[in-house]
Amino acid sequence: MTAYSDLSAHFGRIAALSNAIGILQWDNDVMMPKGAAETRAESMALLQVMRHGLSTDARVGDWLGEAENDSSLGAWEKANLREIRRVWTVDTALPSELVEASSKAISACEMRWRQARADADFAGLLPYLAEVLNLQRQIGRAKGEKLGLSPYDALLNDYEPGGRSAKIDALFDDLAAFLPGFTQEAMAVQARRPAQPALEGPFATETQRALGLKFMAALGYDFERGRLDISTHPFCGGADNDVRITTRYDEADFTKALMGVLHETGHALYEQGRPQSYLNQPVGAARGMSLHESQSLLMEMQACRSRQFLTYAAPLMRESFGGTGPAWESEALWHRYTRVEPGFIRVDADEVTYPAHVILRYRLEKALIADEMPLAELPAAWNAGMKSMLGVTVPNERLGCLQDIHWPSGGWGYFPTYTLGAMTAAQIFDAACKAEPSILPGIGKGDFSPLVGWLRTNIHGKGSLLQTDELLTEATGRPLDASVFKAHLRRRYIDEV
């Protein structure tokens, strides 16, 4: 056994534990009975501590020192060592007691969030969320001291390796200045069109599910390695080779659940396309959450809100729901799916107003981690931000600061990756369509294989072989460039209407 093979075997065991945690977390969010919450929290905490113990094993540092001097290793093995060292450095910053306390606090807060959201009761969630926030601050400080980063940047680094808030601030400030005027311009163009006829429901949940499964298959989702279920908040989770997605249904409007399914399928395709030979190694992991979100938003926003997709999808929608009349024509559906209208809910937002939701959350979570704002003031700060950035008045906390599960589940530092992902999605889709001219015609016929094939080669199959900027530059010819996203918005909402 060499030091590298020892490391590989060791991190294979860590991956096996992570897979067990992933399935338990999926069950927790989808079908676990409420009465099991306390027992599940204990189990999850123990598994998290076990995983942390393995990743911080003193032998890892010794093996790394020896393996990094092994000149016989290839590019994938060297990249795996880089990723192992990154994981080990971060994990050794935390004591196991903090890992255990955080896991238990998150489990309790997630369960309380479900009821609080239903009841629009932030006060009822506050003590649970305060404990999660307190522990996230401790985690951020501990990791920050080890990495030489601010607490927020240390948390961000978990989701976006190498990501820094200073760079995000500049990107988001630029977008925040661009979007209000552009939104008004797009809405003015939209207002000049004839009013769109209504889609008359109700739309049975089972019919929505069947249609979603049909589109998942068209996109290339492997049902031998995953499944579709219902949850309070849509997500993609599970384990290696068991990639599960969820959505939520509204029988008055099938379009929301359908786009949720397409979004999560984009995540799942990335997970199902990771390199099988390195699936249980850090180098085989998806390369950060901005890239992950780019894959979901590429499918949902770039591909499946295109005219080509609606040309293919409209007849299937009409057939599924028995729809008749002009509301079911592809052009009418395209206008519906590209309608710009500020609203309360992030996951239902159009792609023009969506970044405002993310920028607001990013600024709030930075302030909360830095202890610059009391947590009790979150609802008021949220509502004020929604008013100033989107011009909407939030009627209750269910439609306001309780709508997302990220903060109750410990996802502090995650939110900026959504808009970084939207910008990345535009850049990748633009490059893919230029490199492979059959992509858009294929989408128009329900054939996603040219697109998914390009993504498998250039994104999914690379795992974490390259760092984010390197991967994006290799795939698209440049690092992240906000001008591509802005050009896409102008083309779709101004030039092509």
Instruction: Please identify every residue annotated as catalytic.
Output: 264
Q: Rounded to an integer, what distance in angstroms lies between the CA atom of residue 313 and that of residue 109? A: 40
Provide the residue type at 370 as one letter.
Answer: A
Q: Which helix (H) or strand (E) holds 158?
A: helix 151-159
Q: Are 288 and 468 in contact (CB under 8 A)?
A: yes
Q: How many CA atoms lie within 13 A of 238 on its CB side?
A: 20
Q: Rounded to an integer, what distance in angstroms lies between the CA atom of residue 116 and that of residue 124? A: 6
Q: Rounded to an integer, what distance in angstroms lies between the CA atom of residue 301 and that of residue 349? A: 11
- Tell which residue, 236, 288, 283, 349, has the closest CA to residue 480: 288
Q: How many CA atoms lie within 13 A of 378 on its CB side?
A: 26
Q: Are 437 and 312 in contact (CB under 8 A)?
A: no
Going edge to edge, which strands form the sheet with 228-230?
228-230, 242-247, 236-239
Q: Which helix (H) or strand (E) holds 229?
A: strand 228-230
- Quick one: how far is CA 433 from the chain centroid? 23
Residue by residue, DSSP assigns 40-88 as HHHHHHHHHHHHHHHHT-HHHHHHHHHHTT-TT--HHHHHHHHHHHHHH
Phi/psi at 393 (5° precision): -105, 115
Residues 6 or more apart whose CB falls under 8 angstroms from that of 40 comprise 24, 28, 32, 107
